[in-house]
Amino acid sequence: MCGGEGSRLRPAAGDTEKPLVTVGGEPMIDRVVAALQASSLTTIVAAVSPATPVTAAHLAEIEGVDLIETAGEGYVADLTEALAACDSPTVTVTADLPLLTAAHIDRAIAAAGDDSLTVCVPASLSEELGLSAEPTHDHDGTPVVPTGLNIVGDAGERTAVWRAPRLAANINRPADYRVVEAWFDGDTPTKF
């Protein structure tokens, strides 16, 4: 999913479309695509929107990435539109998860089975790392934050809560960007 306007990330992003914001010297979307390509997945489809024309052009140049243009009516509407064009089960990942790894993706696929799976981190982990902890949901009495990594399957719906610092690094706000960029620069003791 890489069609959002990234309004919460301003001013850190400047005029750059959110998926193309550079983290650690590389656009976030390139990092996400690399993790997807290194995983067990065989098909990668990027959902772009009218808000991300430069991202669409960038992704069109990457071999093995197909594009779906959604209407740009918001995350849920765009996700629904994209899922209608994909086979089930489908792995969904947001473009603002630059520390995602193939191991995270494959672990989520294995954990989901035929179910839908929402991967979350404890809100306390996000706070420990200095990252925004929103939106926060309650899961079995523990505040958790969705990571942006999900499986949409055909059976039940489950939530997995992993203490995975790299998945907590969902860059939504300027402070999130600064924490992750400082980690890449070696200027922080944060353990991703």
| Environment class of 84 (CB within 10 Å of its CB; exposed 0-12, middle 13-18, buried 19+) | exposed
Q: At what angle do helices 102-112 and 28-38 cross, to 10 degrees?
A: 60
pLDDT at 185: 85
pLDDT at 88: 85
- For residue 150, give both structure tokens: 């999900």
CA distance 144 to 15: 31
pTM: 0.92
CB 125 within 8 A of CB 165: yes
In the chain, the domains with their CATH numbers are: 7-176 (3.90.550.10)
Tell me the pLDDT of the chain (192 aa) as tens digits: 766 666 666 655 567 888 999 999 999 999 999 999 999 999 999 999 998 999 999 999 999 999 999 988 888 888 889 888 888 899 999 999 999 999 999 999 999 999 999 999 999 999 999 998 887 899 999 999 999 999 999 889 999 999 999 999 999 899 999 999 998 888 766 677
Residue whose entry in the numeric block shows the structure tokens 């499986």: 151
Under DSSP, the state recorded for 68 is E
